[in-house]
């Protein structure tokens, strides 16, 4: 049985980027406003700063770029 694959992929959105486009890309992938993702990123910096910074840097290097 063939499993249907989704064409939905996650990218760094450079058109709506504030720093590197990670939060904008995650927001586009989840179909929500980027303000919510950026707010969650700021909250995570206060709750677990080392993990948040490492996760953001990993996303910057691992996620492909996308722009119109």
pLDDT digits 0-9 by tens, 10-57? 888 888 888 989 999 999 999 999 999 999 999 999 999 999 999 999
Q: What is the pTM assigned to this prediction?
A: 0.79
Contact 58, 52 (CB under 8 A): no
Q: Which of 7, 9, 16 is nearest to 68 (CA)?
A: 16
pLDDT of residue 10: 86
pLDDT of residue 4: 57
């Amino acid at each position: 049985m063939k499993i249907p694959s989704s064409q939905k992929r996650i990218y760094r959105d450079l058109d709506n980027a504030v720093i590197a486009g990670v939060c904008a890309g995650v927001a586009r992938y989840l179909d929500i406003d980027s303000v919510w993702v950026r707010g969650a990123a700021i909250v995570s910096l206060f709750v677990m700063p080392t993990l948040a910074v490492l996760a953001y840097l990993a996303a910057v290097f691992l996620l492909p770029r996308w722009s119109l």
